[in-house]
Amino acid sequence: MTSKRFWDWFIFPGGVWIALLFAVPLCLVLALSFGHVDDFGRGVYGFTLDNYKDVFDPTYVPVLLRSVGYALATVILCLLVGYPVAYFIARHGGRYRYALLAALVIPFFVNYLVRTYAWVALLSDQGLVNNLLVDLGLSQQPIQFINTPFAVIGGLVYGYIIFMILPLYGSIERMDPSVIEAGKDLYGSPFRTFLHVTLPATQAGILAGCVLVFLPAVGDFVSAQLLGGPDTYMVGNLIQDQFFAASNWPFGSALTVIMMLFLAVWMVFYLRRASRGEAEVL
Amino acid sequence: MGDIGLNRRQLLLAGAGLLATAYGLSGCTVERPIDKSAAGDVVEPKIDGDLMIFNWAQYMDPSIKKSFADKYGVAVNEVNFDNLEAMMTKLRAGGSYDLIFPSTEYVLRLRNEQLIRPFNRSRLKNADTLSKFYDDPWYDPNSEFSVPYAYYTTGIAWNTNEVDTLTGSWNDLSNEQAWGRIFMLDDFQEGIGQANLLNGFYLNTDKSDQLQTSKDTLLDQKKGLRGFSTNSVQNLVSGAAALTQAWNGDVVNARNQVDDPSIFAYETCKEGVPVGSDLMCIPITSKSPGTAMMFMDWVLKPENAYKNVMWNGYPMPVAGGREAFAKLVKDDPSIDVNLDQLADSAMEYRLDSPEARQEWTRIWTEVKA
């Protein structure tokens, strides 16, 4: 058996797996997005563009914009919190570096839904945080944290921040420390050195982190469902409701397809940048 | 990029294949048709295998399942659904369950779709004391496909420490004392239904102009909301809600979870009180329909009904169940359901045409968006 033949066979099980459990369902969603609902409320395949017309109905525009807005806020917060953390571990973690990374990663093995419920328990009106604030006299009355947009964004940040920290850690760790010394030798202040040396040198990690956080955050429904209020409806919630409450699978499918196209644009942008970045390094 | 390993010709081929698949699927439903040959067979009550129950979570006292299992030497298993639409989907896909718990409207839909099996109610020993309403209900003429499990009203619950200006109207969902800490049930029928009643319309109206008016009402009410949620018990007990639209049984449960039950009160509203029932049905995919029927009888047995109501807080329209609920609500009669209310089918949610159903769900989506 030639090595080419070997590799062809080697990818066969994985290829079948992907085809059956990913590509086929995806095609079904695509096909159903052109379908309609029958008298029993069942989705029926067909050839209509009505569902796509509905996606761009003015009613749903605020939902789409809100989702993008929350996701962008999530990306910015993740970057502001994640960068110092990744920087500290990569440059000053020393021999505890891997222990610190493990301490960050292990909580993320717990299901996202369960972690979000933990937030409900922490932030509810009579939750731990509010009890502490009232006991310390910092607040007269419990503060309404949950059922607000802030809680939803907070939940998203907590849910996806690891996807920011890991690529940042990778790029900061790979950076040659002597370039920072060079910046200082040229009389750069710590801030200017950071701005003109460290930041550009870790650009690839920043870009990867932003994209990896943005993509799942836009489509998220768990955070808005558990931590949200009346005005935090996201596109993920809209899609979920089409399948489980409104029994309009074709419209839910059309929303899903548009959503995936939108995310694919970002993904392609990211991949192009990343591959060009690699070419420059080589 | 550009190196995915597909050339133009392959891409075109793939596209053509996709189109052919779509054409082949056209007109098919999402779920492959299931074997409905059992749809006409009348079920006989006899032990014919283990039991798989498909129910809402926390809706049945586990001791009732255990005593049945011990008595008849079969396993009684339970899985749960989050909503009735998900239950329908699983049934259509051929999922095998022996006993399900749909609402009245869903019994009608299941019946029309031939997804449930008929049985002879007179073969149930404990069906004699069922409320008369269930002898020949609108959703199941002659009660051939269902027996009732529990029933409920929809009203408003509030925390008496924080709110004391209730007026007995659906307008209380905009109560000023509770403003910002009000929850509305996250259920399109309960949401639009109360707005219809408030505006003086028929609960299940399908007139577009009336639904538009109710949508505006909902958008006004939304300004005072803290959220849409069906988790009334948690919202009341955790203090998140000062006031919430709620099902009466949930108020019983909330009262059971606090030291002083009198802090939670419940009212039904003068514009109209939606009532509903959950039923027991045997799906056509059942592998042990006989055992399922025996179990229905077991659930309706007076001492089991009594235990179950004490456990889940929802009244059952059968001897034992009624007494248990009367005991639970003796301090707050407003939580009780007058059985005359059940006979008023104008106060039950039912969307008879698919168009009406779509319009309702669209309006609800627009309100939530």
Q: Six-digit token pair at A161?
A: 């921040």
Same domain, B205 and B354: yes
Number of domains within chain A: 1
- State how far the Cα of B70 lies from the Cα of B10, in Å rounded to an integer: 62
Q: Between chains, do A238 and B369 touch, taking CB under 8 Å as contact?
A: yes
Number of domains within chain B: 2
For A222-258, what is each residue's pLDDT tens digit? 999 999 999 999 999 999 999 888 888 999 999 999 9
Q: Is the pLDDT of residue B18 over 90?
A: no
SS3 B270: coil
Give residue ranges of B with CB < 8 Å to any A CB: 1, 18, 21-22, 25-31, 82-83, 85-86, 88, 92, 109, 112-113, 180-181, 187-188, 222, 225-228, 238-240, 354, 357-358, 361-362, 364-366, 368-369
Q: Residue A17 falls within a domain, yes or no?
A: no
A vs B, Cβ pairs < 8 A, gives 113
pLDDT at A2: 63
pLDDT at B300: 97
Compute the average pLDDT of residues B22-30.
73
- Helix (H) and strand (E) counts in chain A: 17, 2
For B271-289, what is each residue's pLDDT tens digit? 999 999 999 999 999 999 9
Tell me the shortest Cα–Cα distance from B367 to chain A, in angstroms: 9
Q: Residue B361 falls within a domain, yes or no?
A: yes
Question: Which residues, 6 or more positions from A86, have their beta carbon under 8 angstroms from its beta carbon?
Answer: A164, A165, A166, A168, A169, A172, A205
Q: Which residues of A touch B228 (CB under 8 A)?
A: 230
Same domain, B168 and B96: no
pLDDT at A1: 52
- Helix (H) and strand (E) counts in chain B: 13, 9
Tell me the shortest Cα–Cα distance from B14 to chain A, in angstroms: 11
Q: Is the pLDDT of residue B177 over 50?
A: yes
* Nearest-CB residue to B366 (from A59, A245, A271): A59
Same domain, B98 and B219: no
Return the CATH number at A160.
1.10.3720.10
Q: Residue B27 falls within a domain, yes or no?
A: no
Tell me the shortest Cα–Cα distance from A227 to chain B, in angstroms: 10
Question: Which residues, 6 or more positions from B60, have their beta carbon under 8 angstroms from its beta carbon?
Answer: B53, B78, B299, B308, B311, B312
Strands B99-100 and B51-56 turn out to be parallel
Q: Between chains, do A38 and B83 touch, taking CB under 8 Å as contact?
A: no
End-to-end CA distance of chain B: 38
Q: Between chains, do B82 and A244 touch, taking CB under 8 Å as contact?
A: yes
Q: Which residues of A touch B109 (CB under 8 A)?
A: 40-41
Neighbour count for residue B283 (Cβ, 10 Å): 26
Tell me the shortest Cα–Cα distance from B258 to chain A, in angstroms: 14
Question: Which residues, 6 or more positions from B64, have their beta carbon under 8 angstroms from its beta carbon?
Answer: B298, B299, B304, B307, B308
Q: Six-digit token pair at B96?
A: 């095998």
Q: Which residues of B touch A268 (CB under 8 A)?
A: 1
- State how far the Cα of B172 lies from the Cα of B176, in Å rounded to an integer: 8
Q: Between chains, do B358 and A248 touch, taking CB under 8 Å as contact?
A: yes
Same domain, B164 and B193: yes
Q: Between chains, do A40 and B225 touch, taking CB under 8 Å as contact?
A: no
pLDDT at A8: 80
Q: Is B309 exposed, middle or buried (0-12, 13-18, 19+ CB in 10 A)?
A: buried
pLDDT at B262: 92
> Residue A136 has what DSSP assignment?
T
Same domain, B231 and B355: yes
Query: What per-residue string of b and e applies to B95-104 under the rule 16 or more CB within 10 Å gives b?
Result: eebbbbbbbb
Match 């619950």 to its residue by tokens: B157
Nearest chain B residue to A224 by CA: give it.
Answer: B227
Q: Is A170 exposed, middle or buried (0-12, 13-18, 19+ CB in 10 A)?
A: middle
Q: Residue A139 falls within a domain, yes or no?
A: yes
Same domain, B126 and B177: no
Same domain, B126 and B163: no
Residue-wise pLDDT tens for chain A (282 aa)? Answer: 567 788 888 888 888 988 889 899 999 999 999 999 888 888 899 999 999 999 999 989 899 999 999 999 999 999 999 999 999 999 998 899 999 999 999 989 999 999 999 999 899 988 899 999 999 998 888 899 999 999 999 999 999 999 999 999 999 999 888 888 888 888 888 888 888 888 998 998 999 999 999 999 999 999 999 999 999 999 999 999 998 888 889 999 999 999 999 999 988 988 888 787 665 544
Same domain, B255 and B190: yes
Which domain covers residue B353, as residue numbers? 152-275+347-368
For B275-325, what is each residue's pLDDT tens digit? 999 999 999 999 999 999 999 999 999 999 999 999 999 999 999 999 999
- State how far the Cα of B242 lies from the Cα of B224, in Å rounded to an integer: 12
Percent of chain B whose pLDDT exceeds 90: 75
pLDDT at B2: 40
**Apex B183 CA angle, B242 and B327, nearest 5:** 70
Same domain, B97 and B68: yes
Return the CATH number at B217.
3.40.190.10
Same domain, B123 and B254: no
Tell me the shortest Cα–Cα distance from B115 to chain A, in angstroms: 12
Q: Residue A34 falls within a domain, yes or no?
A: no
Q: Residue B11 falls within a domain, yes or no?
A: no
Same domain, B157 and B250: yes
Which domain covers residue A175, as residue numbers? 57-281
* Nearest-CB residue to B109 (from A40, A126, A237): A40
pLDDT at B1: 39
Among B24-33, B206-215, B255-264, the minimum mean pLDDT is found in: B24-33
Question: Which residues, 6 or more positions from B1, have their beta carbon under 8 angstroms from its beta carbon?
Answer: A268, A271, A272, A275
User: If you compute the radius of gyration of chain A from its CA atoms, what whole number of angstroms results?
Assistant: 23
